[in-house]
Amino acid sequence: MTVTHRAAVLGSPIAHSLSPVLHRAAYGELGLTGWTYDRFEVDEAALPAFLDGLGPEWGGLSLTMPLKRAVIPLLDEISDTAASVEAVNTVVLGEDGRRSGDNTDIPGMVAALREHGIEEVDSAAILGAGATASSALAALARICTGEVVAYVRSEARAAEMREWGERLDVDVRTADWSHAAEALRAPLVVATTPAGASDALAAAVPERPATLFDVLYDPWPTELAARWSMFGGAVVSGLDLLVHQAVLQVERFTGRSPAPLEAMRHAGEQALAAR
């Protein structure tokens, strides 16, 4: 195979990333035989030199933690979506050398919810207040007509979430994590916490839960998602998010649309099952 175009995911740690599986599946389905997609362990200190070393064959980069904010000063432009949360997970590399940053996590969240029939909700709850929570707020800005309650562990995090709400024009109220079980009665619950952090809430799932969007995908299901499903609630998974945001990346990198959503999802499911 003659390599004509390159793309990759960067981050630290990066060995766990499913992005190569998803992107390579898309290239195969689209017949893009000259495209390759790799993963590179890159931290904030190494990022400038890595970008400067890229040749003209590079089409795009996917970024994970801790690079989503660190990359911004190194770019020529960023989209309004990325600017709204000060986070870039997608860099398109132009033939003229321009570096354009975007955020596909936010529209990816919206697309994953719409795929499960969630077009609009009148209120929502967010578990956690990290970087993913701000993207969740930006997604909710597009589909939630009322209040979003964020359940957090510290006043500093609470203040951050209220500030994000003001910036994104979302009506945000914060509550202490000790009351997080109350979140589970919302029409839409978005769990943005690390693995294990929400396990204890599984016992508090109501008898008729609505929709849970749990951004984790490995291990899956989480205890919260498993209990939610057992009680008949709708569950959107982190793999749904990962696939939908990767679809948008593939389209931006290659110029080919639509990207093969189902082939990418199937490849992701197979890779997770093999772990």
Angstrom distance (rounded) from CA 200 to CA 91:
37
Closest by Cα among 224, 231, 232 to 189 = 224
Residue 171 tokens, joined:
């009506």
| 204 SS3 class | helix
Count of CA atoms in the C-beta half-sphere (13 A) of 199: 9
Angstrom distance (rounded) from CA 67 to CA 88:
8
Angstrom distance (rounded) from CA 91 to CA 47:
13
Angstrom distance (rounded) from CA 231 to CA 186:
15
Q: What is the dihedral of CA 239, 241, 244, 247, to 10 degrees?
A: -70
Residue 64 tokens, joined:
């994970």
For the question of residue 68 being annotated catalytic, the response is: yes
Angstrom distances, CA of residue 183 to CA of 6, 124, 159, 190: 43, 8, 19, 9
Closest by Cα among 233, 122, 126, 235 to 177 = 126
- From the candidates 6, 23, 24, 68, which is the catalytic residue? 68
Residue 204 tokens, joined:
């508090």
Q: What is the dihedral of CA 125, 239, 154, 66, to 10 degrees?
A: -140
Please list the active-site residues: 68
